[in-house]
Chains A and B, each alone.
Chain A
């Protein structure tokens, strides 16, 4: 574009160039300057092309260096080589066989970089496979290639600080001005010739050390730029006469820039003045201030206040606005308005402004606000809501435009959205909690505000139930649900056992009501999903196993949850964790295991539940990644105890796995039910000396071992003892019931294991002996054994008159079981043979039926069979 521009612009084009279009201007200016060298135009254009190619590639390589993208760098380097070969004739002509300095520089830098990378062994290890491969090949290639440039490089190394080309410096010049990067490229391209003419030795180039890192100019701040620019400008004024024109233009530009700066400054000054003016006011007592806020004799009425308010609000978001002062100013306005009894509507409006300015106070979204502002915020919010509640005639909505706002008479209309502010407030609260150390008093202090936030939510809910639309009500309900679902309400359990009158409203009923509304009215799927998940969580928390299970099954969320957003997935994981715990409490061990297995399999339940970040081994997180992940974390008071979770999971796995192991001792196709549990077992087996168990895992492993041997008492004492009680079991609400349930299950499963393991040494066992051994009721023993017989797990039958279990002694020996397995496999083989034949030729029974008709087709098919059998034969040949 620029070249096009250049040819089009003749000498008077610069006079016509408008001052307003500054970013564009950069291009014509420089092109103008090289109009003076029209002589070698044609030659230069090919050269330009080549050089541009080179510089672009070099730039790319620099970028890749910064992000350490070795594979891209390798390809770029190869391109660069190719481009240089192309450019070689030009270079020969122009530079007299000398390698251009910028090219040498690039090579040198690249070499340094590669060496550095190569040396940094730790860093190299962390590179991805692809990258490290590229690094190695790049290193080799570079070495080979550099040999050709040995001379140039040594020369360069002697004097590395010299600026290779001015292009970089020049490039930097337009940048601070230009809002778009359009002019940058043309500048580079067109500047090159000048630079070459000047040669490498510009007298004052020394005072600007060129370092390659800053060349991209991305990290500099404005001030640095201006200083550099000035220096540069100074230099340009010192340039030869033939650059006079350029200089002039630059001067012009500078002037103009100065003007703009001045203007800006003025504006800032204004703002500053305003700011200062306000600060003064903030300090002094109210009555004396009033004249400063408004003119001394001004009669304060509604319109004036509104005007003032909009004035203040207009400053919002501007760079130089002092946010704190804005808040104070608004408070001021509020008191004034109150003093003059200007009505509630304006009060609400001002409150709104205060709230949003408090939100604005914190410039970074990811950081929490300061506690003092937080308390302020809460107070304002609840004040505003109280006002709203007391006056029904106020309509707050986003659909009200600024123009249609009405503060003076009854159906007041105010622009704004309570719900959004509330949501923001709630988010801020969570952020605030996450900021605190969860084990400090501060956290507890903050957590006390939860009640206030909840009260505010309830107020907003009441407000919206009257005024809001359905979707708004859904949103506020979900907010409320999110404050409710994780809280355990002992009333619910009392309610269930009938200890309290049936008309009390427990959190269960509340949840039910809110969720049902959302199920019915919500139009977005997300709210509904979250409501269902929270609802299940709440049910599971309060031991409503069946309801929770049915909700899970009916919602079919398992199938679609992968496609939802991370925070919903986290909620799903949390729900699953609690569902697992609930199933465990209800002695549904299999369900508990199934619920928890997905969380535990990966070995990082902490991350899945968003209760902390784990260091990642494969690759570092980028800063942003980490920030995002941190935002997702749950505040501490909502955490699920991980040790409890793991313990429940391991114990469930033990109760399922150990009998299974005993039953399928010789089975080759035995599959692992729980990988994590196996890992624990194996790691303990690897130890040469096993001490008494210390941690929770060791306890479970020890219990598993004694269960395998049929010692139910030992197993029980490993699972339920002082240590485990304090660590795990006491965390349950009804810990004793859980323990009793566990003991019973341990007895039963140990009995099963015992029968599996030792049945081959018995001819018959008396059931009463078994009942005694395992301290179980006789009917229970009978039932367990019957079940095993029916399911053909135990080859035995009962002898009723003598109350014994008579073994059939028909468990296959090792050889027999192997033979059986072999038979199974052969069976499968024959089956698959038949299937192959069937698919190869279709259903042959059918074909036999209509053999007469389709000769052609038959022929075709027969051919297929032929092929197939040949193939088979080939295969067989291969086998032998």
Chain B
């Protein structure tokens, strides 16, 4: 199963702290060796300030070893530095404690007036923001995400968008919101960040490479939001597939994201139209990236190889089951994938034997019959079951050319009439007005 695991590929585009949930998930799934995972965690932690956590993991890894002195010292150091920073931003934290002030601050649009207001009444200095930013970062490194969100929120209010720290504040905010699992505001931050990146290529000095990198990060980070937020499934398609910049980034930097995009499209029944575009992209990138999910789509919509699709669907099961982001939509995926196979089947066939269908859908015949009956009952399928032969007979009759013709001309007369009526009305109105103006 390790074959389809993307954690190592994704890790390079994620923040250290964001990798933790992934690793936790992996250790729960027991795909990799536990000690290796622990080592990886330790490695990640070494650069953060979560010393306690690091010590914990060390104990798990090497139960017999003593905790090295160096770590203990670091802990002391971290704590002292934290206090130092805390003192520096004392005035701000006071302000932040005051709800009323915060409310008035929120109502102020301009960061300049805000700064004036603050420095007048609360002996605030602009340098403090720098320290606050540092403190937020420090808190974040310590794993104290919720505190860091509130600090960063303050930063965002005060800093003008062209400040050099603004971008890092945005990133920090998004990361902390994700880590405290506050999806609503995470989505907000995500949009803010995206706008910031898209709207101002000059922030990166016109360096398209850097821009591409920022977008790639954003794509990866956004996965957390999209697969946890209720609206995420719509938005992920919108952002990944229909924003050329991001599609470009996916194609050049991280084609493995196609897995998530494909899943999102499959489970989103309302967006069948996106399938065509998606299949095109998948085909284009098929040489750099393929996994059971993209292959499933390819089999179904490019080759019409239902056997292949069935096999891939089976594989998809395991892939989804072992993916941090996708595990929650496993049920939905399977259901929708089945439906997709069945739909395509129905469009091509006029008569299908239930046995074969059941086989193609990974079901047993009775179950399949039940499933089809349900579909028919819900009026999503115009078909009848010939239970003697065990066939499903499609009801839809093809359009005869005569009907087609009539359908085409049907609305023309009405449309023309309204047009004529409109012109007539205008003419009359004009005459009336003429007359009216003459009067004056």
Chain A interfacial positions (CB closer than 8 Å to B): 546, 554, 779, 782-783, 786-787, 789-790, 795, 797-801, 806, 808, 810-813, 816-817, 819-820, 823-824, 826-827, 830, 833-834, 837, 841, 844, 855, 858-859, 862-863, 865-866, 869
Bound complex: CA A834 to CA B419 (Å): 7
Q: How far is the CB of A583 from chain B (nearest CB, A)?
A: 14
Enumerate chain A residues within 8 angstroms of B405, measured Cβ to Cβ: 816, 819-820, 823
Known contacts A790-B347, A810-B398; A827/B419 CB under 8 A: no
Q: Are A801 and B427 touching (Cβ within 8 A)? A: no
Cβ-closest chain A residue relative to B400: A810
Q: Are A799 and B349 touching (Cβ within 8 A)? A: yes
Q: Are A798 and B348 touching (Cβ within 8 A)? A: yes
* Option from A797, A806, A827 in Cβ contact (under 8 Å) with B412: A827
Cβ-closest chain B residue relative to A837: B419
Known contacts A800-B353, A801-B389, A830-B415; A862/B430 CB under 8 A: yes
Cβ-closest chain A residue relative to B403: A810
Bound complex: CA A810 to CA B399 (Å): 8
Report how many residues on chain B are interfacial, defined by Cβ distance under 8 Å. Answer: 41
Chain B 383-440 interface residues, beta-carbon cutoff 8 Å to A: 389, 391, 394, 398-402, 404-405, 408-409, 412, 415-416, 419, 422-423, 426-427, 429-430, 433-434, 437
Q: Are A787 and B304 touching (Cβ within 8 A)? A: yes
Q: Are A859 and B422 touching (Cβ within 8 A)? A: no
Q: Are B348 and A806 touching (Cβ within 8 A)? A: no
Chain B interfacial positions (CB closer than 8 Å to A): 252, 287-288, 303-305, 307, 344, 347-353, 356, 389, 391, 394, 398-402, 404-405, 408-409, 412, 415-416, 419, 422-423, 426-427, 429-430, 433-434, 437
Q: Are A833 and B408 touching (Cβ within 8 A)? A: no
Q: How far is the CB of B311 from chain A (nearest CB, A)?
A: 13
Q: Are A816 and B401 touching (Cβ within 8 A)? A: yes
Bound complex: CA A632 to CA B432 (Å): 75
Q: Are B433 and A862 touching (Cβ within 8 A)? A: yes
Q: Are A862 and B426 touching (Cβ within 8 A)? A: yes
* Option from A554, A798, A826 in Cβ contact (under 8 Å) with B349: A798
Q: How far is the CB of B353 from chain A (nearest CB, A)?
A: 5
Q: Are B401 and A810 touching (Cβ within 8 A)? A: yes
Known contacts A810-B398, A830-B415, A862-B426; A797/B349 CB under 8 A: yes
Q: Are B350 and A798 touching (Cβ within 8 A)? A: yes
Bound complex: CA A861 to CA B434 (Å): 12
Enumerate chain A residues within 8 angstroms of B408, measured Cβ to Cβ: 820, 823-824, 827
Q: Are B348 and A830 touching (Cβ within 8 A)? A: no
Q: Are B391 and A801 touching (Cβ within 8 A)? A: yes
Q: Are A865 and B423 touching (Cβ within 8 A)? A: yes
Known contacts A790-B347, A800-B353, A800-B356; A808/B304 CB under 8 A: no
Q: Are B402 and A783 touching (Cβ within 8 A)? A: no
Known contacts A808-B398, A830-B412; A789/B348 CB under 8 A: yes
Q: Are A866 and B430 touching (Cβ within 8 A)? A: yes
Q: Are A801 and B426 touching (Cβ within 8 A)? A: no
Q: Are B350 and A797 touching (Cβ within 8 A)? A: yes
Bound complex: CA A801 to CA B352 (Å): 6
Cβ-closest chain B residue relative to A813: B401
Q: Are B305 and A789 touching (Cβ within 8 A)? A: no
Apart from A820-B401, A858-B433, what 15 extra A-B contacts exist at CB < 8 Å?
A790-B304, A790-B348, A799-B350, A799-B351, A800-B353, A806-B350, A810-B401, A820-B408, A823-B409, A824-B408, A827-B408, A841-B426, A862-B429, A862-B430, A865-B427
Q: Are A869 and B427 touching (Cβ within 8 A)? A: yes
Bound complex: CA A863 to CA B433 (Å): 10
Bound complex: CA A810 to CA B398 (Å): 8
Bound complex: CA A869 to CA B429 (Å): 14
Q: Are B427 and A820 touching (Cβ within 8 A)? A: no
Closest 9 CB pairs of A and B: A862-B430, A786-B304, A812-B401, A797-B350, A816-B401, A823-B408, A808-B398, A546-B287, A800-B352
Enumerate chain B residues within 8 angstroms of A866, measured Cβ to Cβ: 427, 430
Bound complex: CA A790 to CA B346 (Å): 10
Q: How far is the CB of A665 from chain B (nearest CB, A)?
A: 15
Q: Are B399 and A844 touching (Cβ within 8 A)? A: no
Bound complex: CA A132 to CA B31 (Å): 87
Q: How far is the CB of A531 from chain B (nearest CB, A)?
A: 18
Bound complex: CA A789 to CA B405 (Å): 21
Can you list 28 contacts pairing A with B, beta carbon distance less than 8 Å?
A: A546-B287, A779-B307, A782-B304, A786-B304, A787-B304, A790-B344, A790-B348, A795-B398, A797-B350, A798-B349, A798-B350, A799-B349, A800-B351, A800-B352, A808-B398, A812-B401, A819-B401, A819-B405, A820-B404, A823-B408, A823-B409, A827-B412, A830-B412, A837-B419, A859-B430, A866-B427, A869-B423, A869-B427
Bound complex: CA A779 to CA B309 (Å): 13
Enumerate chain B residues within 8 angstroms of A800, measured Cβ to Cβ: 349, 351-353, 356
Bound complex: CA A823 to CA B403 (Å): 12
Cβ-closest chain B residue relative to A782: B304
Q: How far is the CB of A255 from chain B (nearest CB, A)?
A: 71
Q: How far is the CB of B286 from chain A (nearest CB, A)?
A: 9
Cβ-closest chain A residue relative to B408: A823
Q: How far is the CB of B235 from chain A (nearest CB, A)?
A: 27
Q: Are B412 and A826 touching (Cβ within 8 A)? A: yes
Q: Are A783 and B437 touching (Cβ within 8 A)? A: no
Q: Are A833 and B416 touching (Cβ within 8 A)? A: yes
Cβ-closest chain B residue relative to A787: B304
Enumerate chain B residues within 8 angstroms of A797, measured Cβ to Cβ: 348-350, 394, 398
Enumerate chain A residues within 8 angstroms of B391, measured Cβ to Cβ: 801
* Option from A826, A833, A862 in Cβ contact (under 8 Å) with B409: A826
Q: How far is the CB of B33 from chain A (nearest CB, A)?
A: 28
Enumerate chain A residues within 8 angstroms of B404, measured Cβ to Cβ: 812, 820
Q: Are A816 and B402 touching (Cβ within 8 A)? A: yes
Bound complex: CA A863 to CA B426 (Å): 10
Enumerate chain B residues within 8 angstroms of A811, measured Cβ to Cβ: 401
Known contacts A820-B408, A824-B408; A834/B415 CB under 8 A: yes
Enumerate chain B residues within 8 angstroms of A820, measured Cβ to Cβ: 401, 404-405, 408
Bound complex: CA A247 to CA B344 (Å): 108
Q: How far is the CB of A697 from chain B (nearest CB, A)?
A: 33
Bound complex: CA A606 to CA B175 (Å): 60
* Option from B252, B305, B430 in Cβ contact (under 8 Å) with A863: B430
Bound complex: CA A795 to CA B347 (Å): 11
Cβ-closest chain B residue relative to A779: B305
* Option from B399, B401, B415, B430 in Cβ contact (under 8 Å) with A865: B430
Bound complex: CA A581 to CA B288 (Å): 22
Cβ-closest chain A residue relative to B433: A859
Q: How far is the CB of B300 from chain A (nearest CB, A)?
A: 10
Enumerate chain B residues within 8 angstroms of A801, measured Cβ to Cβ: 351-353, 389, 391
Enumerate chain B residues within 8 angstroms of A546, measured Cβ to Cβ: 287-288
Q: Are B419 and A783 touching (Cβ within 8 A)? A: no
Bound complex: CA A844 to CA B356 (Å): 57
Bound complex: CA A812 to CA B398 (Å): 12
Cβ-closest chain B residue relative to A865: B426
Enumerate chain A residues within 8 angstroms of B415, measured Cβ to Cβ: 830, 834
Bound complex: CA A808 to CA B397 (Å): 9
Bound complex: CA A82 to CA B401 (Å): 76
Cβ-closest chain A residue relative to B305: A783
Enumerate chain A residues within 8 angstroms of B307, measured Cβ to Cβ: 779
Q: How far is the CB of A842 from chain B (nearest CB, A)?
A: 12
Q: How far is the CB of A671 from chain B (nearest CB, A)?
A: 22
Bound complex: CA A319 to CA B170 (Å): 74
Q: How far is the CB of B114 from chain A (nearest CB, A)?
A: 39
Cβ-closest chain A residue relative to B394: A797
Q: How far is the CB of A833 from chain B (nearest CB, A)?
A: 6
Enumerate chain A residues within 8 angstroms of B434, measured Cβ to Cβ: 859
Cβ-closest chain A residue relative to B404: A820
Bound complex: CA A472 to CA B404 (Å): 69
Bound complex: CA A824 to CA B412 (Å): 11
Q: How far is the CB of A837 from chain B (nearest CB, A)?
A: 6
Interface centre among B348, B349, B412, by most chain A C-beta atoms within 10 angstroms, is B348
Bound complex: CA A554 to CA B248 (Å): 10
* Option from B288, B402, B419, B433 in Cβ contact (under 8 Å) with A833: B419
Cβ-closest chain B residue relative to A812: B401
